[in-house]
Amino acid sequence: MVDKIKKLKEYIKRLEKIIVAYSGGVDSSLLLKISVDTLGKDNVIAVCGISPVYPEEERKFAKDFCKKLGVKLIELKTEEFKNRNFINNPPDRCFWCKKELFSKIEEVKKKYNFKFIVDGTNKDDEKDYRPGEKAKKIYNVISPFKDCGIGKREIREISKKLNLPTWNKPQMACLASRIPYGEKIVEEKLKRIEKGERFLYSLGFKIVRVRDYNELARIEVDRNQISKLIKYRKKIIEKFKRLGYKYITVDLEGYRTGSMNEVLEK
């Protein structure tokens, strides 16, 4: 572990002046922290996208975290909802979303005359279907964790060692990933998904996904907490009915990364 941290710092040091694509999540928070420690806050800028696809709670956390680090944060309003390639929600939806985000970050990089854009993609992300990787190639976005062979477990361990509040933070993905491919992305859906997940978090669930199938909600939580859903059955039904769902279901397999991509597997 010590060798990997050293390798990571040496890697980042060579980049000199960087823009961190920051989401407020586990990976990008550690990347931002180590980047500031290695290069100094004047050589690092955090850029956060503002869009209905990103939960408001994540935005608030990102602002607070950057303030504590003393690093400059730039919030960019992205316009993926003007692109039908995104709205129609094809399997490569993530490409169009990331392309929009990175194109805006590229403008910031040029404006401040910085050298590189980096993101928190890690070694384990290679296991899932990630069309957004193609967008990174267009703008030469670098992934220090992946290049240094650092995975999710190690990121959490390093974060804990550094006393970062994100070390045990649940894994997060954009809200659009809750909607099945082919179903149009509309803001109303994203808002009710966000409200539904926030409600479940308030009940004490640590990992939550509300998969939206129009009138039907498929709830994913950690498989060890599935029985807990039954305990709150009445409250959950009442809340989700108010949000507009007619049918509320539980995925008995529990939460797993990329469950929406299972329809693409052969």
Dig out the tokens for 240 from the structure.
Answer: 């989700």
Domains of the chain: 2-161 (3.40.50.620), 175-264 (3.30.70)
Q: Could you tell me the pTM of the whole model?
A: 0.91
Residue 198 has pLDDT above 90, yes or no: yes
Mean pLDDT in residue range 144-160: 95
pLDDT score at 18:
98
Confidence at residue 259, expressed as pLDDT on a 0 to 100 scale: 65
Closest-CA residue to 8 (of 30, 41, 40): 30
pLDDT at 110 over 70: yes
Q: Please give the average per-residue pLDDT across 136-165, as a whole number.
A: 95
Burial-class residue 182 by CB neighbours within 10 Å (0-12, 13-18, 19+): exposed
| DSSP code of residue 205 | -
User: What's the pLDDT tens digit per position in 206-227?
Assistant: 999 999 999 999 999 999 999 9
Distances (CA, A) of 164 to 20, 68, 74: 17, 11, 21
Give the mean pLDDT of 94-120. 96
Question: In terms of Cα–Cα distance, which of 1, 190, 6, 13 is closest to 87?
Answer: 190
Pairing of strands 247-250, 44-50: unpaired
- On the question of pLDDT at 266 being above 60, the answer is no
Nearest to 198 by CA among 249, 246, 239, 253: 239
DSSP string computed for 120-160: ---GGGGGS--THHHHHHHTT-B-HHHHTT--HHHHHHHHH
Cβ atoms of 78 and 104 within 8 Å: the answer is yes
Q: Which residues of 118-150 are buried (b: 16+ CB within 10 A; e: fewer)?
A: bbbbbbbbeeeebbbbebbeebebbbbbbebeb
